[in-house]
Amino acid sequence: MNAQMQLIATNFFLKNQKSFHRGKVRDIYNIKDKYLVVVACDRISAFDHVLPRPIPYKGQILNQVAAKFLDLTAHEVPNWKIATPDPNVTVGYKCEPILIEFVIRGYLAGYAWRLYEKGGREICGVKLPEGLKKNDKLPEPIITPTIKNNSGHDTDISMADILAQKLIKKKDLEILENYTRKLYKLGTDIAGERGLILVDTKYEFGHNDEKKIILIDEVHTPDSSRYFYKDDYERRQKTGEEQKQLSKEFVREWLMENGFYGEKDQQIPDMTDAVIDSITNRYAELYEKITGETFVKRSYENILDQIETNVNEYLNSNPLFS
């Protein structure tokens, strides 16, 4: 892997910029306290840790997949996106985040399976039937919300407790549940057309200036979602083989195989060039499978200048940002 093929971080000074925030994988520029310029970098996180080496093209892939799905779902659920002036950048409306993530699961996989395997038969107030195997389809999709914490793991919470603790108004929670199910249905239908199964995913929402609830952040990307291959699913379930996944779960599994579970004082294992390349390839594979388009790698030559120029040209040409 070429060491120069990476976008680790940005440090721009943009027109009418009010503030800056660096998240786990995104750099976020606040414009006029009304808009956000969000740069998807090549950083990768797992178990709430940013891993020491970036993944080439990961930022571009996440940004372009999210942008496509924001466009494909906007007719059903309003969202924050305005434009994508660069392959790694989305510009959108600044919202007040609702600090609960809405996770929806159609299959018993990942965290839900790990809980079930240990004897748990209830997750976020939702009871699970006996006799399920790893990756089995659930009787119906279940919503398992989590409270976003500033550090460490997010905390599971039931829909009933959200109301009991007065975290969200009842009418707003009904809107959020409706939006979550609509988005999952749309994502499932699109995935099915591409020969994939949308196993589970998460959505984040916020209030815009008009106090309306809209979808924010990313949607149906490999960082927020898990996919299986549809044509091989039944055979693998019958034979007990692992499902072939298109998601970030394989990164978590690699870390666990190498003794890292995100626990205190554990050391993140070395990621070789071969591991880095394999992760890039899996991300590109998902992009092509879910979008039906060939992934075109952007140039990394002078990438910071490229991004800054593209963003500034867009901001300067659009009267919204004057």
| Domain 97-247 indexed as CATH 3.40.50.10860 | no
Q: Average pLDDT of 137-154?
A: 86
Tokens of 74: 């906007």
Return the pLDDT at 248. Answer: 80
Q: Which DSSP symbol is given to 25? A: S
Q: Where are the domains of the chain?
A: 97-247
Residue that is written with structure tokens 């039937």 in the block: 129
Return the pLDDT at 246. Answer: 80
Minimum mean pLDDT among 37-46, 174-183, 254-263: which range? 254-263
Structural contact between residues 164 and 147, judged by C-beta atoms closer than 8 angstroms:
no
Which pLDDT band holds residue 250 (cuts at 50, 70, 90)? Answer: confident
* pLDDT, tens digit, 9 for 90 and up, residues 8-24: 999 999 989 999 999 99
* pLDDT, tens digit, 9 for 90 and up, residues 278-306: 889 988 988 999 999 999 999 999 999 99
**Per residue, what are the HEC states of the chain?**
CCCCCCCCCCCCCCCCEEEEEECCCEEEEEECCCEEEEEECCCCEECCEECCCCCCCHHHHHHHHHHHHHHHHCCCCCECEEEEEECCEEEEECCEECCEEEEEEEECCHHHHHHHHCCCCEECCEECCCCCCCCCEEEEEEECCEECCCCCCCEECCHHHHHHCCCCCHHHHHHHHHHHHHHHHHHHHHHHHCCEEEEEEEEEEEECCCCCEEEECCCCCCCCEEEEECCCHHHHHHHCCCCCEEECHHHHHHHHHCCCCCCCCCCCCCCCHHHHHHHHHHHHHHHHHHHCCCCCCCCCCCHHHHHHHHHHHHHHHCHHHC
3-state secondary structure of 107: strand
* pLDDT, tens digit, 9 for 90 and up, residues 75-121: 999 999 999 999 999 999 999 999 999 999 999 998 999 999 999 99
Return the pLDDT at 49. Answer: 86
Minimum mean pLDDT among 186-195, 198-207, 251-260: which range? 251-260
Return the pLDDT at 152. Answer: 57
Q: Is the pLDDT of residue 150 over 90?
A: no
Tokens of 162: 């959200």
Q: Is the pLDDT of residue 2 over 60?
A: no
Return the pLDDT at 1. Answer: 47
Q: Average pLDDT of 165-179?
A: 97
Structural contact between residues 21 and 41, judged by C-beta atoms closer than 8 angstroms:
no
Strand partners, 141: none
* pLDDT, tens digit, 9 for 90 and up, residues 197-231: 999 999 999 999 999 999 999 999 988 999 999 99
Return the pLDDT at 10. Answer: 96
Listed residue (128, 133, 111) closest to 239, CA to CA: 133
Cα distances (Å, whole numbers) of residue 90 to 218, 311, 315: 10, 9, 12
Tokens of 239: 């034979």
- Rounded Cα distance, 287 and 64, in Å: 8
Structural contact between residues 253 and 109, judged by C-beta atoms closer than 8 angstroms:
no
